[in-house]
Structure 1
């Protein structure tokens, strides 16, 4: 989804400021599957406003400057619908963690173990927070996506727990066999 469509989706749930849209992407329901920066949200909102897909009004705040609040228009709802009925492109996982595990043979086994254990703990925290969500009042699509997200995180936890020790054994064996090649640049320069 592009950022304009993401903004329309957030606004379809209720009026929001640019900051509130960003929070929905960082901490709210979209945080698990969409990403948008302040640098992309505000230009998207400006374009949506120019296209009459959102309205903007000023809301006064006590002891703070007025904030711009956006609301979706009927044309915006139509544009959101039109975007939602286009088949989605294939998912692409953008994960520093996956990148690191891809090159696990280059990482010291103790450090790798710590990374894997932290990732398991993080996933378990996400699952715990998701289980605390009140879903009974949510629309069917939100409940479905919530369940899909829980299944994903639980599968990651299960896979990591089932395969971590085997990976570490193989890494330790490979590193013992190729010790000079796995020494990091920082370790080599520190000993020089």
Structure 2
């Protein structure tokens, strides 16, 4: 999976601007995919050159022109290749877990601080996802709802682990 595959999938629902796509990456996809404006716009240019999408410039008064992207038949075919290809292994990176792995080199108080900040971060993420889910569920497909539910369950599991880990750290002898 790459940004091109995700963008083609978004465009299957209808034409979108680069800004619309960035909003989708920052909200709906934020739990399981990340892309910046620095990734989106070069990818859109490449996809247009490959004939997977077309671009229509909308002239706006008092604002920069707005580019609206649409998927082409070739883009639909490319997306179908992706969606029917074998699934890739998931890549998981965690600065928190890497630091925890090397936690023997810092004071227990530092590690406790990491746990407390991570717990706060997960609480905020879960709240945001739950709120978004309540708004999103009414106009989502069953598979989209399952993605959101997976994210919420994973956050709950991580939260429970962190609470248990924090308790263990508090109980460790100095």
Q: Tell me, yes or no, whether TM beats 0.5.
A: yes
Task: State the Cα RMSD in Å.
Answer: 1.9
Shift of 1:63: 1.4
TM-score normalised over the length of structure 2 = 0.87
Aligned to 2:10: 10
Aligned to 1:70: 69
Shift of 1:74: 2.8
**Residue 109 to residue 153, structure 1, CA distance change in 2 (3 Å):** same
Shift of 1:46: 1.4
- The count of residues paired between Structure 1 and Structure 2 equals 171
| Conserved 8 A contact 2:129-2:148 | yes
Larger Cα Rg: Structure 1 or Structure 2? 1
- Residue-by-residue CA offset, 1:50-109 (whole Å, 9 max, x unaligned): 222111011223311102121122322221122011122111112212211221222332
Asked if residue 144 in structure 1 is aligned to residue 146 in structure 2, the reply is yes
Distance in structure 1 (CA, Å) of the matches to 2:80 and 2:169: 45
Shift of 1:150: 0.8
Correspondence for 1:164 among 157, 163, 166: 166
Shift of 1:168: 5.2
Aligned to 1:109: 108
Shift of 1:29: 0.8
- 3-state SS of 1:147 partner: helix
Aligned to 1:36: 35
Distance in structure 2 (CA, Å) of the matches to 1:105 and 1:117: 18
Distance in structure 1 (CA, Å) of the matches to 2:126 and 2:157: 11
| Conserved 8 A contact 2:108-2:169 | no
- 3-state SS of 1:93 partner: coil
**Where does the alignment leave 5 or more consecutive residues of structure 2 unmatched?**
none
Distance in structure 1 (CA, Å) of the matches to 2:31 and 2:160: 19
TM-score normalised over the length of structure 1 = 0.80
- 3-state SS of 1:58 partner: strand
Distance in structure 2 (CA, Å) of the matches to 1:116 and 1:109: 11
Aligned to 1:19: 19
Distance in structure 2 (CA, Å) of the matches to 1:104 and 1:14: 48
Shift of 1:153: 0.5
Distance in structure 2 (CA, Å) of the matches to 1:167 and 1:105: 12
Distance in structure 1 (CA, Å) of the matches to 2:87 and 2:163: 32
